Structure 1
Amino acid sequence: MSAPLHVACTHCATVNRLPAERLAEGGKCGRCGQPLFAGRPLTVTAQNFDRHAGADLPLLVDFWAEWCGPCRMMAPVIEAAAAEFEPRLRVAKLDTEAEQGLAARFGIRSIPTLILFHKGREVARTAGAMPLPQLKAWLGQVLPAN
């Protein structure tokens, strides 16, 4: 039996322990009782970002803004990625207009920008809209093995 993974709840951001071998089964939050995985992107804010980025699951964050045309083109790709990659990878969206402090913290200069985090550290970054096959190829190159 391997060490449990620390997974933040998409609803209340409580960090839950989940046995790695049971990851595919999902699980429910010990605090709020909601499913740990929703199959869609979660919204990250200054209040919950560090819990999700610091968890054991890799976190792909789409830095976007409502007024950005390429960001709107990227939205269905991000939705599809969340449905396909969870629970191996958590997918999130961060509105750079609403969360300017976080955008500045990560030096976001153009949007959409995708940053992959693992255990609190930035692993990879790419900018610009891309189709799902290209996103999948990029993730295949940069996703951590564990």
Structure 2
Amino acid sequence: MAIYRCGRCGSINRVADERVRDRPRCGRCKAQLDTAGAPQPVDGAALAQAIASSPVPILVDCWATWCGPCRTVAPIVDALGRNHAGKMLVLKLDTDADPAEAGRRRIQGVPTFLLFHRGRELDRRTGVASRADLERWIASHTGQPPARASHP
């Protein structure tokens, strides 16, 4: 069973593994689900909804448009999302667009990565990290083995 978040309404959808390639639709709003696993932008309300309802781990990339290191790590975050598609949600919180949420989450520098599972924050780390380091960090907290690299 794979888990996908609807980019339109934010609903969490369960999709049978054999149905992932059939272009599944959201059970609530009927929008087509992005099963590729690309990171999805969220605001504070959408983030809270995902944290409360996701049965799979969530990696949140807290970033800002002016942040050079954030742009450096963006392709790594994209690859993590795509390689963990259906097994982990990857979300992006623009700290400039939602400074109140950044404050609530105690984000003091960007990029900051937050890792959630079963409604609670497991860990956080700030600064650029290699893909291998992020994979190990995720695995150490979730028990999920590092994903095989199918995207650079």
What is the TM-score of this pair, normalised by structure 2? 0.80
Give the gaps of 5 or more residues in structure 2.
Answer: 145-152
In the aligned structure 2, how far is the partner of 1:66 from the partner of 1:73? 11
Q: Report how far residue 97 of structure 1 moved.
A: 0.5
Partner of 1:93: 92
CA contact (8 A) 1:8 1:51 kept: no
Partner of 2:118: 119
**Superposition pairs of residues 3-82 of structure 1, within 5 angstroms:** 8-16=5-13, 18=14, 22-23=16-17, 25-26=19-20, 27-30=24-27, 31-35=29-33, 37-54=35-52, 55-82=54-81
Q: Report how far residue 23 of structure 1 moved.
A: 4.8
Q: Report how far residue 8 of structure 1 moved.
A: 3.6
CA contact (8 A) 2:2 2:86 kept: no
> Percent identity over the alignment?
33
What is the TM-score of this pair, normalised by structure 1? 0.83
Other structure's SS at 1:101 match: helix
CA contact (8 A) 1:7 1:15 kept: yes
In the aligned structure 1, how far is the partner of 2:12 from the partner of 2:83? 23
CA contact (8 A) 1:117 1:124 kept: yes
Distance 1:6 1:75, change over 3 A: closer
Give the gaps of 5 or more residues in structure 1.
Answer: none
Distance 1:11 1:90, change over 3 A: same
In the aligned structure 2, how far is the partner of 1:88 from the partner of 1:7? 8
In the aligned structure 2, how far is the partner of 1:28 from the partner of 1:144? 29
Other structure's SS at 1:50 match: helix
RMSD: 2.2
Other structure's SS at 2:44 match: coil
Q: Report how far residue 36 of structure 1 moved.
A: 5.2
